[in-house]
Amino acid sequence: MLAAPINPSDINRIEGVYPVRPQVPAVGGYEGVGEVYSVGSAVKGLSAGDLVIPSPPSSGTWQTYVVKDQDMWHKISKDSPIEYAATVTVNPLTALRMLEDFVTLNSGDSIVQNGATSIVGQCVIQLARFRGIHSINIIRDRAGSEEVKERLKAFGADEVFPESQLEVKNVKGLLSNIPEPALGFNCVGGNAASLVLKFLRQGGTMVTYGGMSKKPITVSTSSFIFKDLSLRGFWLQKWLSADKAKECRDMVDYLLCLAQEGKLKYEMELVPFDNFHTALDKALGKLGSQPKQVIKF
């Protein structure tokens, strides 16, 4: 293995609160990138020196050497940036699938999301922009929020609002020439999810893919009766288990190509393995808001 990220779901697996748990004893990590060291005599199509990722992703990437069957590995371009190859499967793929799987969006339409500074959020902004889709982004109130706003706008965000700015009756009055969104993404829950719902147009859909606040989603009766909103969920692991290996690899190649061309970017910090204690603290939020931690072996 060359590099592997620390994702929230990795922590949840270790805590024993994730729906799918590896058989113990187990090694952490679910995605990453490696270089082929050696192959068995019957292996064709892979050779020493090839750059590979586990696809679909699988447990055990937080270690220096991994032995798995040939069909578990997907060969990628040697020009792929290591940190993007290590992180392409879980977050960027989630962003891509959510944009394509729930509502038919056309150029000129819009989406709304909370958790806009997450990697999924950053990818949603950029992938939406490529399709001519406007993005309305909700961020937490915190020191430096103006700087965060500018960073997201540089990614292509049309509107960025701190939560406190949305404590008004008519949030749509804050939108200039952007149509009401038909699709919203929620990875926070609690009040942040309610703010996404406030923006949605009649018959809109909110897709939940995380719950960082650990607070439930509360929906008003009127949202269901008068706005006819739909609430859906997305779990990448379930999507991947539905015999999607080929489709997954095609999309990974597409996303890596965007990253290689500098068209898809997100904030990461490459950390030497010796500093994994600090990386873990950062990933757990003990040191404030931090970029995605990617362990380099």
φ/ψ of residue 264, rounded to 5: -130, 120
Is there a contact between 31 and 58 (Cβ–Cβ < 8 Å)?
no
Residues 117-140 as b/e (b if ≥16 CB within 10 A, e otherwise) read bbbbbbbbbbbbbeeebbbbbbbb
φ/ψ of residue 252, rounded to 5: -60, -45
Alpha-carbon gap, residue 258 to 81, rounded angstroms: 11
Locus of tokens 């490459």: 270
Alpha-carbon gap, residue 123 to 93, rounded angstroms: 9
Alpha-carbon gap, residue 213 to 189, rounded angstroms: 6
Alpha-carbon gap, residue 271 to 279, rounded angstroms: 7
* DSSP-assigned beta bridge partners for residue 266: none
Locus of tokens 């909700």: 138
In order of 59, 88, 92, 116, the CA distances from 72 in angstroms are 11, 16, 20, 32
Alpha-carbon gap, residue 101 to 284, rounded angstroms: 30
Q: Which one of the listed residues 18, 30, 65, 209 is annotated catalytic?
A: 18
Alpha-carbon gap, residue 189 to 209, rounded angstroms: 10
- Report DSSP state, residue 189: B
3-state SS, residue 236: helix
φ/ψ of residue 224, rounded to 5: -80, -45
Verify whether residue 18 is a known catalytic residue. yes
Catalytic residues: 18
